[in-house]
Chains A and B, each alone.
Chain A
Amino acid sequence: MVVKGVIKNKVYFDSVSLMRIGSELSSMEGVEDVAMVMGTNENKSILQVSGMLLSEFSDSNGNDLLIGIKANSDEIVSKVLDKMESLLESLQKGDSSSTTFVPKSIDGALKTLPQANLAMISIAGKYAANEARKALNRGLHVMIFSDNVSIEDEISLKKLGKEKGLLVMGPDCGTAIINGVPLAFANKVRRGDIGIVGASGTGMQEVTSLISNFGGGVSQAIGTGGRDVKKEVGGIMFLEGLKALKNDKNTKIITLVSKPPHQEVIDKIAFELKGCEKPVVALFLGADKEQLKDFPAEICRTLEETAQKSVELSLQLSLMREVDFTNDDILKEKAKKTSNQKYIRALFSGGTFCDEAGILLRDHLKEIYGNHSGKGILPLENLFMSQKHTLIDLGEDDFTVGRPHPMIDFSLRNKRVIQEASDLECSVIILDVVLGYGSHPAPDAELAPIITKALSINPKLTFISYVVGTDADPQNRKQVISALQNAGSLIVSSNRVATLFALEIVK
């Protein structure tokens, strides 16, 4: 044990800084204790108590810094002194880095930003309703990204919002674009005169992106959350959003995107549309023709068609679309297949794509399995094992417990791609790649190596991918497309085209 006392003459440090440095030095390895005090009589009596009043300190006063060190060796003592010098120096320089205050509540936030008019809520669902209610009571529009909010809460929040003339987007609303600002998972699309109300997040991403890519633009895209159009909620916000778009002078075309609403809700929407002077385009993905009889809108069947129709009405022209694939392309892919390669395996990160693919395939193929089972789609026996034709929504809870959404975390889908490639019955793999805010910043870096690897396992495999997004998105769309092409994937422009292409190959 070495005990060493050092005096630094004619310096001053406040006692609190010295205690902090002293405790940092005491925690160094091989150090038993470090005392640092100014040499006042009071401090000397403190040192006396702790046995650190060393003989070296006898000739010192309040303008001297006393340093007492107990350590295992002289070497450690000099290490301590070195570190002390640098700490004292940094103390004198000061630290100019400053952290700004982050409010802890909506009320606190409103003190910082008194003009705030919209709250985005993505905290755990259990708490989301309470905070949304506070926001509404303070006059804020609300977008609730959180899921797991009870339907009772959803109804009461939406009633409150309606009463106050405020939007309540969600719960479970993944996408909105308000005044050109993409909220949550959304793409940077051209502004324009097409106003959208949607109860489907990825559906809205595809429709808004395609509108933009087709040359049109979006005035507003209001998300409602998928449950809004169910009987219980009664389409409260779908209808409020619709009314707002009817009133909005920047909206010339109104586009509706949803899974089939409850019949009562369809009737209410139809009633609200009566006498609407603006053209209306509607996609109720998978709805029966019977359900939409007399519905006063241009009815579409797919996301792509919806975008196209909206743009055509907006620009008042017919879009001449290039074909994504030719007969030759189909024949070329078919030619390389073995007799066992019969099936489509579609691995989606967006739930609406899974539904849309099912709707497009169910009249043409038998034995389609998936985790969005329903009309024409059989439930998978094991979600982690494909059978025959398989359409999987990897964004379902079964896959996302304990991990981020597959638009952010590609690991699960990557594993599944390799698994499909090793299955000799797999012929075509469909992949959606969703760009935009919220999604993975560089999906090509994740997917391209996996596609290459899968093709090395089975070169006779066909990859068909489509990239949802625009050239203005934070990810570089062109680069993503060329990286996937270079890796060996075919690239098409939409989910509809990808599905139909795959169908032709396996038919």
Chain B
Amino acid sequence: MSIDNLFSGSIQVVNLGLNSFLEALKESNTPHVQVDWKPGLDVEQSIIAKVDKHKEKIDQANREVTDIIASGSPFLVGMAQAFEVIPRMHKKLILHAGPPITWDRMCGPMRGAIIGALIYENLASNPQEAEKLASSGEIEYAPCHEHNSVGPMAGIISYSMPVFIVKNKTFGNETYCTQNEGLGKVLRYGAFSEEVVNRLRWMETTLYPTLKKAIELFGEIDLKGVISQALHMGDEVHNRNRAGTSLFYRIIAPAIVRTSENREDAAKVLEFIHGNDHFFLNLSMPASKAILDAARGVKYSSIAVVMARNGTDFGIQIAGDSKKWYTGKALVPDALFFPGFTKNDANPDIGDSAITETAGLGGFAIAASPAIVQFVGGNASDALNYTMEMYEITTSESRYFQIPSLNFRGTPTAIDVRKVVEKNITPFIDTGVAHKEPGVGQVGAGVLRAPSEPFEKGYIGFASLLDD
């Protein structure tokens, strides 16, 4: 009988509640741990009981999903223009970040980016024309995620845009993402001036063909390897991609030199990559998605395979219910702002880049990235605590992506929607902040908590798929 064991051994205490009860434990040198407990999210007890009843089946499905995630192997295998590879792409289809949304509900930066994209595609010759077309009903809008793609911030992908092709070689699925434009006035932050469109054209006519040829020389580049090295070098591959970009640069530079027909183009392309610390973001994102997409459709799994925002709504998708979006209002990040801007200028959270957190990177790996801890309070220990907290809502620890300051512990991976609801801990996300008006661009960077609503709804929706 184990009460006997308790009496014959020593006690070690988990204290849930009053801090004052720790005093006696401290004084008697009794090993103890305090729990900073709070009530779960607002979901009816009967629904929780129903999900609990299926615990074993769900746990089993989640183990299957974590195996799929662990064995994912994303490689950069080539480049193409969107219409060549993205399923169901057509001239009047615009893909955007986050869950589905109609023009009338879109935020400023997303509208701005669409205006820019329509001008870039020569479907309009000026912003007024573009706006008219965008709101006419002639243009079809769809989430990147529904077309095997991801896009940072506004996440706009139009017909002619060049994209990276990332393949999960274990499962054969592909994902796509555009090339990163750099910081400042850029399309993904809703800017659409001539400068922005011209850069996009240069990216299509010079950057894209140069990179494409260089990648072809290799055949494939192992992104999982680059990401794990980048984590050891201070990136979390969402808000900081300096190491990942540098590693990519080292890999690709000789190939560019060898394959480019024009020395000046080669130099310009290398300078462009060198000058853009976020270049690798557009590879870490499709790599994350390639890993997670392989887990879609595993019945009974409560693991989130998508977290994405369109600047109006925050949406999630769940492995066991992966066609469906569960959404809630997108929140405004806590950010540090560029000089001259304040929280009043900030657009609510936007972009598919939270796919990195969904894959156990970004905010989940912030402990690996001391250079950006200023975003989370300024102390390296704050960053550690955020990562530690994410272990509470995940199912596994990555075998490849590690945190040096946690003795190379694997990053918290595979968000279990059940744990989010039960513990009332929502995912922690790193993010850039766009100005809420179209055309202005980035105004800051920071962090935020995912809103709870999509997880509550997701939990209820997931529960409805279970037998009574």
The chain A residues found within 8 Å of chain B, CB to CB, are 14, 16-17, 19-20, 22-23, 33-37, 42, 45-47, 49-52, 68, 95, 97-113, 115-124, 126-127, 131, 135, 139-141, 145-146, 164-167, 178-184, 186, 188, 219-220, 240-241, 243-244, 247-250, 437-438, 474
Contact = CB atoms under 8 A, between A and B. Distances in A.
Contacts of B54: none
14 contacts: A16-B372, A36-B339, A42-B184, A52-B340, A102-B34, A113-B32, A116-B12, A118-B12, A120-B13, A127-B39, A181-B28, A244-B7, A437-B24, A438-B21
Interface string B426-445: 00000000000000000011
A106 B35 contact: yes
B465 interface: no
Nearest to A436: B24
Contacts of A140: 14
A186 B28 contact: no
B12 A113 contact: yes
Given A47-B339, A437-B24, A104 B425 contact: yes
B271 to A, nearest CB: 13
B16 A123 contact: yes
B339 A35 contact: yes
Contacts of B423: 104-105
B23 interface: yes
B382 interface: yes
B4 interface: yes
A27 to B, nearest CB: 10
Nearest to B29: A181
* 9 pairs of A and B residues whose beta carbons are closest in the complex: A50-B340, A122-B17, A35-B339, A19-B336, A16-B374, A98-B381, A437-B24, A244-B3, A101-B388
Contact of A99 (B3, B184, B381, B425): B381
Contacts of B6: 117-118, 141, 167, 178-179
B28 A119 contact: no
B253 to A, nearest CB: 22
Nearest to B20: A438
Given A104-B425, A123-B16, A244-B4, A115 B31 contact: yes
Contact of B33 (A34, A109, A181, A250): A109
B38 interface: yes
Report which residue of B14, B340, B391 has the largest number of chain A beta carbons within 10 angstroms of its beta carbon: B14
A175 B385 CA distance: 33
Report which residue of A19, A124, A188 has the largest number of chain B beta carbons within 10 angstroms of its beta carbon: A19
Given A117-B12, A124-B39, 9 more contacts: A98-B379, A104-B425, A105-B422, A109-B14, A113-B33, A118-B11, A119-B16, A141-B6, A244-B1
B21 A120 contact: yes
Contacts of B408: none
A100 B382 CA distance: 9
A166 to B, nearest CB: 6
A97 B381 CA distance: 8
A241 B7 CA distance: 11
Contacts of B378: 17, 20, 95
Nearest to B389: A104
Interface in B317-344: 336-341
Contacts of B184: 42, 45-46
A116 B1 CA distance: 17
A20 B39 CA distance: 33
Nearest to A166: B2
B33 to A, nearest CB: 4
A189 to B, nearest CB: 12
B293 to A, nearest CB: 28
A49 B398 CA distance: 43
A437 B339 contact: no
Report which residue of B9, B16, B422 has the largest number of chain A beta carbons within 10 angstroms of its beta carbon: B16
B13 A118 contact: yes
B183 interface: yes
Contacts of A108: 35, 391-392
Interface string B341-379: 100000000000000000000000000000110110011
A110 B32 CA distance: 10
A101 B16 contact: no
Contacts of B262: none
Contacts of A179: 6-7, 9-11
A76 B11 CA distance: 59
Nearest to A186: B24
Nearest to A122: B17
Contacts of A97: 379, 381
Contact of B374 (A20, A50, A250): A20
A437 B21 contact: yes
Contacts of A115: 12, 31
Contacts of A49: 340
A482 to B, nearest CB: 24
Contacts of B392: 103-105, 107-108
A17 B379 CA distance: 11
Given A47-B339, A109-B14, A183 B24 contact: yes
A50 B35 CA distance: 46
B336 to A, nearest CB: 4
A275 to B, nearest CB: 18
Contacts of A188: 24
Given A97-B379, A146-B17, A50 B339 contact: yes
